[in-house]
Chains A and B, each alone.
Chain A
């Protein structure tokens, strides 16, 4: 049977018989836009802001958590550049809000190449708008759960050379993968495609601390397209199997190679997202 049926079944129709693909519904909150709002961005809709406020109420310190996660991304990218990496695959890139990978990487070396991946069509369209005229960076719409689809996408193949070391960034995204989808197997799919000397940076929600607040936040996110599945430090560490976990191994985002003593003030919220960077031997 034609695959068309599957695609068309995902269309909604309004009175005027115009179609909006599933997922392009501004009344349905998206994690990418909630993250943007928590980071102080304006790339969001009322429904996103409403959920973001609930998120922040359930999990006090949410804005800091978002900020520290974004800062970890920046430091991880800069670390990889210092290690000689000049190409990046940023999966779960979300809204191109502030401090995007291509800005960081191309500032360090204009030759750097970046492929952004997100499942949210508006985020991808937005990224493309911003990247217009940038020949070394693009965004594709794809699902983290489909390594094959991402790795063989024409734009991926065009911009990235998998024979060379590459920076794989999965920052604040793997907690959207339920255990049923076999996260370890998914990561294996990515790892197998990477050349030795490639790096993987990941950060991930955990409920090891502030379990009650995290449970409340998880409840809030159930109302969105992107429910969250926090993992223990142990489980998260396992996801780096096959990579050499670099010092300081798995720590809260703020503690991963901080570049300012101001980040080190003792605050409980920084423990909600764990981070780590691994190197493929």
Chain B
């Protein structure tokens, strides 16, 4: 390289290079500093100037030169491209600056033909520039294509890898559902080979029914109505088994966006599906014991009855653990839970030899369905075995998780259980499962009502009676509203002078099917349910209103209205309010009402009977105790409570009247004289004859009623009797 002046001095050539740099600097992004650009252009300029100065390239350089050969000007053109001066104005500004500047440089100025030589040089520079730009553009296009291809190849390879190696089944089908390609996973899920699947109808691979539903969804994808869908459906394996899959379906489009294929991806969730089923079954199982629960048991009984030979005998046992709540309350639920697990195990032991289904159907109830075989023991033996097994004490420590038998008794609780058992035995074909379950339940209730450790076999006549009874009770509230109840009145007579001193109100029910039910029957039925309270309140209200109409009889004052309360009424916390309300509204003085409380209610430690009696007495209501004489407790109440009368229990009165000389009768006589020391009146009911009345009078009774004097009658009968 030749430079006309020492480094650093601003020679005319350097000034020209600087002007050139300024001219091209803003025409394109030149990836270097301004100084670097200038230094680069100085080099290019040197090549051009040296060549022009030598004059050798001036002639015939364009016509004689071989294309591609380099000279200073051509190289300078390429050099501009190398500096990335590729802007639209890069070349014109170069020509402008150099065209004006080169001929004026001292080393060239005045040379003959310099103008032509400069034009020629600029032409070669342009040629070199164009050629370099063309090469560079080709290279860059080549580069970007190569990059694109690399990406495409990579994605193609990746896709093939994904398609081939994926654990997800992938199938491509055309628009009518014919498969074009399926990967190995897809084939394996269905047990086919990949080749097997090509040209098959994809939807035919689904379980019948599932495919038809899918056809619509596929059509929506093909029509572009939806982009994709995901569903869980069963497919049909080659071996006929079901394969549960989650399928995701989407459309494949060509480069113009038109849908050409369907892409179906399936994930085998058969195992998951089975697990799900198991989870569902847990909803049918009791978590504590692992036994079927009530719902599951009912289903299993139903299917068992349906599958068995109709002539097979089935035995359904329903067990209730006696007093189990005591264990839960006393030792905690943890102990109770472990005991239940133990019961489950022991029941399995008892029925190990049988074809039996054991279930836990309520917190402390179990049920066992046995398909009887010739070897199946009879019902009594089965029940005995159950209770024998259960009564074997289990030793449980409240802090240990597993129950143990006969462990160290020092820190453990030994618990033995008994069960009440209801048993039904039927032919499988002769009974519906709901009825079988109901009968077992009803029989268990009956067994329980007999006490602990009882078992009962289903008893059809008893069952019929029970059911009728329950149906009757269930009809009571409606009967009350419909006016099927009415009251009858029976006079209470002072045995000493046969004067009517009181009137007892009795309820009757004119039942449309069963005829008229008397007072004791109605109260007995109603006593089983809460319906006794509204019925009792109605009786009280109606009778008090009626009593207002009674005239003063021969005794000089209107008779006292006597009503005997049922146990539930006597214990009713609202009794005082009810009585107060009735007396207030009808205006009956309290001392004209006598309420009898059953001795049974007073003997019971729980309940409000004793308080009620006390308050009634304070109110001025006459209080008495009925059902007296059977036990030992009655006398205590006479001592402690403001009781003005007792009534001998009806059953006792009847029996004693038949055996007037018995020891019991003498004891009763003594009892009545004792009662009299408390200044308490003794009433006896159900006297049928004059002699009977005499006997009771002698024995010590004060007041009596019965058909011997007057049977129960309608309200007007009493009014008439009193009027005489």
Contact = CB atoms under 8 A, between A and B. Distances in A.
Interface of A: 1-2, 4-5, 7-9, 11-15, 17-21, 24-27, 33, 39-45, 63-64, 66-67, 70-71, 74, 95, 98-99, 103-104, 121-123, 125-126, 128-130, 259-260, 262-263, 265
Interface stretch (B165-173, B358-366, B651-659): B165-173
Contacts of A39: 28-29
A126 B143 contact: yes
30 contacts: A1-B248, A2-B168, A2-B267, A4-B166, A5-B248, A5-B265, A8-B263, A11-B252, A13-B172, A13-B252, A13-B261, A18-B152, A19-B155, A21-B151, A40-B84, A42-B136, A63-B88, A64-B26, A67-B28, A67-B29, A99-B84, A121-B155, A122-B151, A123-B147, A129-B143, A129-B150, A259-B34, A262-B22, A262-B25, A263-B26
B248 A15 contact: no
A126 B155 contact: no
Contacts of A98: 29, 31, 84
B416 interface: no
A26 B148 contact: yes
A20 B246 CA distance: 26
Interface in B125-147: 136-141, 143-144, 146-147
Contacts of A262: 22, 25-26, 34
9 tightest CB-CB pairs across the interface, nearest first? A99-B31, A42-B140, A126-B147, A260-B34, A13-B252, A40-B86, A42-B137, A125-B147, A67-B29
B708 interface: no
Interface string B698-722: 0000000000000000000000000
B115 interface: no
Given A12-B255, A43-B140, A262-B34, A70 B29 contact: yes
Nearest to A38: B29
Nearest to A27: B255
Contacts of A259: 33-34
A43 B151 contact: no
B529 interface: no
B196 interface: no
B152 A24 contact: yes
Interface of B: 22, 25-26, 28-29, 31-34, 84, 86-88, 136-141, 143-144, 146-148, 150-152, 154-156, 159, 162, 166-168, 170, 172, 180-181, 228, 246, 248, 250, 252-255, 260-261, 263, 265, 267
Q: Determine which residue in B31, B147, B252, B255 has the highest number of CB atoms from chain A within 10 A of its CB, and name it.
A: B147
A262 B27 CA distance: 11
Given A4-B162, A8-B170, A12-B255, A95 B29 contact: no
Contact of B172 (A17, A42, A99): A17
Contacts of A67: 26, 28-29
A212 to B, nearest CB: 25
B265 A8 contact: yes
Contact of A14 (B84, B172, B254, B267): B254
B168 A4 contact: yes
A125 B148 contact: yes
B252 A71 contact: no
Contact of B147 (A8, A66, A129): A129
Contacts of B144: 33, 42-45, 95, 122, 126
B260 A15 contact: yes
B148 A13 contact: no
A7 to B, nearest CB: 7
B506 to A, nearest CB: 77
A94 B514 CA distance: 100
A121 B148 CA distance: 8
Contacts of A63: 28, 87-88
Contact of B252 (A12, A128, A130): A12
Nearest to B166: A4
Contacts of B137: 42
Contact of A24 (B155, B162, B167, B254): B155
A20 B140 contact: no
Given A2-B267, A4-B166, A40-B87, A9 B29 contact: no
